[in-house]
Amino acid sequence: MRSFSKAAAFVTVFVMVSAGTANAQAGSLDVSFGINGLVTTPFLNGGSNGNTVTLQDDGKIVVAGASNSDVAVARYNSDGSLDNSFGTGGQVTTTIGTMNNMAYKILVQSDGKIVIAGTAEPGASDFDFLLIRYNTDGTLDNAFGPGGIVETSFNTLNDVAYSCVLQSDGKIISAGTADVQFAMSRHNTDGTLDSTFGTNGLVTSPVGFNGGLGRAVAIQSDGKLVMTGICFDSSFVKGFGLARYTSDGISDSTFGIDGVAASYFTGNNDYAQSMAIQSDGKIVVAGFDDAGAKFFFAAERYNNDGSLDTSFGIGGKVTTPVGTYNDYGRSVAIQSDGKILVGGYTGDDISYDYVLVRYNSDGSLDPVFGNGGKVITDFGGSSEGLCVTLQSDEKIVVSGTHEGNFALARYNNDVVGIHEITTSSLLNIFPNPVSFAFTISLNNQSSVINSQLTIFDVTGRVVQEQKINSQPYTVNCQLSSGVYFVKVRVGQKMYSGKLLVE
């Protein structure tokens, strides 16, 4: 028997981002998901659309939107099949009153409970912010508001929550529109309004000269809140608007001009729809631009102070035509390598197809993704891509609607490279090189319960995979001599290291 090498553990860690085998083109449909990469889900009430999608720590996919006039939620296993442990056959519908209700944003708390934000219509043409919290099995959480449901009025007719985020203390920020103002509310963990936020738990800001329509909110690493949406200039032309607030809802005067930044593409109408914050703190906003003859995908990037980042596109702005007809950018996500994904749809106002566009970090189209940076997906009817998110393995999931059904598509991503990090603080592998077994530990992770360990060969092929529940953890391997890469997924975090087998 060969003895273990006495060599010290490697002090250089390699981070590998992989979403399948190396020969799967970035942007191609993942045929292991649903039927050839696509899933459609009808609800009994009909008229369904999946406005928002998120991932649980266990890899399950949760989608929310509406079915007819009810809030609708579905949960899927990682292969695209409905999760029968959730609701009834993987589906939940929630009726609130007799009017129209809609979910626009979904998130999962650290305890696995599911929060959705949207709008409820308590009276004809009168809408309120809506928050619903579900237990992990899809039942309403009675510890949240009255029976799991919270409605919040700003005393205007059109209060719609398009977005929500969790603060580090578990409080929930809802964000959207109150008539023609950016609007936010903060709720305690039991659903009550937090009176220490803004004015009695509520914040409104006009943003543009003639007001604005809030669409998305994000939390910076310092706890400050950034909102984006549509702003109106003195002539009611629409532009991209941004506003920043302290963690308690006070306008941040160090951002833009008196806490507000606004930008216009062509002098026509621009529609900001989504936002993501990069690891360096820069803010990416995506939507669509009326270029005159048609709508284009549009994206902007801002520095942390609210100024446009001139290293992105032209003067901080990018517009991208995709299809023959109108193109609507609806959602943005940032890959771990800094590349930017914008999802949406294209069509002629009668029939639409899903669209994904990927940009390099400088705003140029990424030529290795799809067809010159663009992917169009035809479900075989009219389909609108509404929300894009990334799995922990970097596969791309897009939710939306197809002919009145929830619709999901999952795409392969490329192996974006092996990047050397000159630190040994993330993942320890010992002994290394190894003959038959090695031990792993994570210096900055206290719990690894229900985590996933995957070993790849140099082509990106998975050669070993298993669950881990404790650390340090000993892994038995029977691999041929060579170089391998060990990946440990803990929730939405990824740790990777290089392994040499003797």
Residue with tokens 């999608």: 53
Return the CATH number of the domain spanning residue range 423-501. 2.60.40.1220
How would you classify the pairing of strands 493-501 and 114-123?
unpaired
- How buried is residue 253: exposed, middle or buried, by Cβ count under 10 Å (0-12/13-18/19+)? exposed
pLDDT digits (tens, 9 = 90+) for 30-61: 999 999 999 999 998 888 999 999 999 899 99
Question: 2 pLDDT exceeds 80?
Answer: no
pLDDT digits (tens, 9 = 90+) for 391-441: 988 999 999 999 999 999 999 998 443 333 333 347 888 898 888 888 888
Q: Are 176 and 163 a contacting pair, CB within 8 Å?
A: yes
In this prediction, residues 196-223 reach a mean pLDDT of 95
- Can you give the pLDDT at residue 464? 83
- Can you give the pLDDT at residue 447? 66
pTM: 0.80
- Can you give the pLDDT at residue 450? 63
Question: 23 pLDDT exceeds 60?
Answer: no
Q: Are 417 and 339 a contacting pair, CB within 8 Å?
A: no
> Residue 5 CA to chain centroid, in angstroms?
43
Burial string for 6-24 (b: 16+ CB within 10 Å, else e) reads eeebbeebbbbbbbbeeeb
Contacts of residue 416, Cβ cutoff 8 Å, sequence gap at least 6: 17, 335, 336, 337, 339, 394
Burial string for 165-193 (b: 16+ CB within 10 Å, else e) reads bbeeeebbbbbbbbbbbbbbbbbbbebeb
Q: How far is it, in rounded angstroms, from Cα 501 to Cα 308?
A: 49
pLDDT digits (tens, 9 = 90+) for 442-481: 876 666 666 778 887 765 567 787 778 787 888 888 788 8
CA–CA distance from 453 to each of 425, 426, 465, 495 (Å)? 18, 14, 6, 10
Of the candidates 193, 328, 318, 325, the residue with the CA atom closest to the CA atom of residue 249: 193
Q: Are 387 and 51 a contacting pair, CB within 8 Å?
A: yes
Q: Domain residues of the chain, as ranges?
A: 423-501
Contacts of residue 424, Cβ cutoff 8 Å, sequence gap at least 6: 9, 10, 11, 12, 13
Q: How far is it, in rounded angstroms, from Cα 349 to Cα 74?
A: 27
